[in-house]
Amino acid sequence: MTQPKAGPSRPLIDLHTHSTASDGSLSPTELVRAAAKAGLAAVALTDHDTVQGVDEFLAAARELPIEAVPGVEISMQGPSSALHLVGLYLDHHNPELTRGLDRLQQARDNRNQAMIERFRELGIPLDLAEVAAVSGGGLVGRPHFALALMARGLVHNPGEAFSRFLAAGKPAYVPKFRFEPQEAIHLIRAAGGAPILAHPGLVGMAWTSLEELVGRLKEMGLMGLEVYYTEHDGNITRRLKGLAARLRLLVSGGSDFHGQNKAGTRLGRGKGKLAVPLELLAPIKKAARHA
Ligand code: AMP
Ligand code: ZN
Ligand code: FE
Ligand code: FE
């Protein structure tokens, strides 16, 4: 592994996590407490398409020895599939950002209704209240449909729910509205945040295409790459680090922690070997403030 060695003397951070405001299992308060308990120096809350958890997250962090970073993870339309954009150190009350996220929420509400209709046609009469009940009170998405199907005993685990019903092309799948990359990048920059391409290693593109894509995103205002990520191996981590250096992009990293909703991924440590050094934080913070 090319990732830096962790040790008690080496402060670590985690700049990609989810709470009950999207599809994580811990509330924002529980999340920041768990991060402090794990000894992390900083943690960012980056819920999918929402900043609803950020106020609670920042408030809970005030009494803890940890830096809490306000953030979001926005899905955007890539050349062949979805891309994820993490925004860090943003002003989560910025009206342009919140209007954009409201639009995504509205699109999600319509899509959830359409998915309920699909399940009805499949002879599975789920209702939205039942799905919302397992969502922990935040936004409702496909992972919560998976939990609702499990609660009914129709599937054994979320993976089976996706492969039988929810994944693209499966019978209950309904496509979701997504922003174009320039719109998503603009929303985060408008709110003063640093836009960072999330898990570039999962994009599923040949390396040269990925390099070209990152170059185009940089011209649109992208400021960084999530180089350190739970599912990046040593090879992709090294290549992404090189690409970030060549294009003068910031380096970020995180676990994509979802609590019990993605068992096996730990805060700060991912699947065990992740180690995101604290030194990455200051350049990101500085860049965001000067956006
Ligand atoms: P949504 O935003 O409602 O389309 O849901 C997307 C989320 O579903 C992703 O963030 C993943 O956490 C989860 N997901 C997507 N595909 C799978 C899969 N094959 N198995 C389990 N979870 C998945
Ligand atoms: Zn998620
Ligand atoms: Fe993601
Ligand atoms: Fe994520």
Ligand closest to CA 165: 1
Query: Could you tell me if the CB of 269 is within 6 A of ligand 1?
Result: no
pLDDT at 2: 46
Query: Could you tell me if the CB of 53 is within 6 A of ligand 1?
Result: no
pLDDT(92) > 70: yes
Q: CA angle, corner 277, sides to 272 and 278, nearest 5?
A: 130
Residue 289 CA, ligand 1 centroid: distance in Å: 32
pLDDT at 8: 53
CB neighbour burial string for 42-62, b if at least 16 within 10 angstroms, e if fewer = bbbbbbbbbbbbbebbbebbe
Q: What is the pLDDT of residues 131-181, one digit of tens each?
A: 999 988 889 999 999 999 999 999 999 999 999 999 999 999 999 999 999
Q: What is the pLDDT of residues 208-243, one digit of tens each?
A: 999 999 999 999 999 999 999 999 999 999 999 999
Query: Could you tell me if the CB of 109 is within 6 A of ligand 1?
Result: no
Helix (H, G, I), strand (E, B) or coil at 33: helix
Report phi then psi at 87, rounded to 5: -115, 130
Asked if 14 and 71 count as a contact pair (C-beta separation under 8 A), the reply is: no
Query: Could you tell me if the CB of 239 is within 6 A of ligand 1?
Result: no
Residue nearest atom 6 in ligand 1 by C-alpha distance: 142
Q: State the alpha helices, DSSP H only, in 90-223.
A: 95-121, 128-133, 142-151, 158-161, 181-190, 207-219
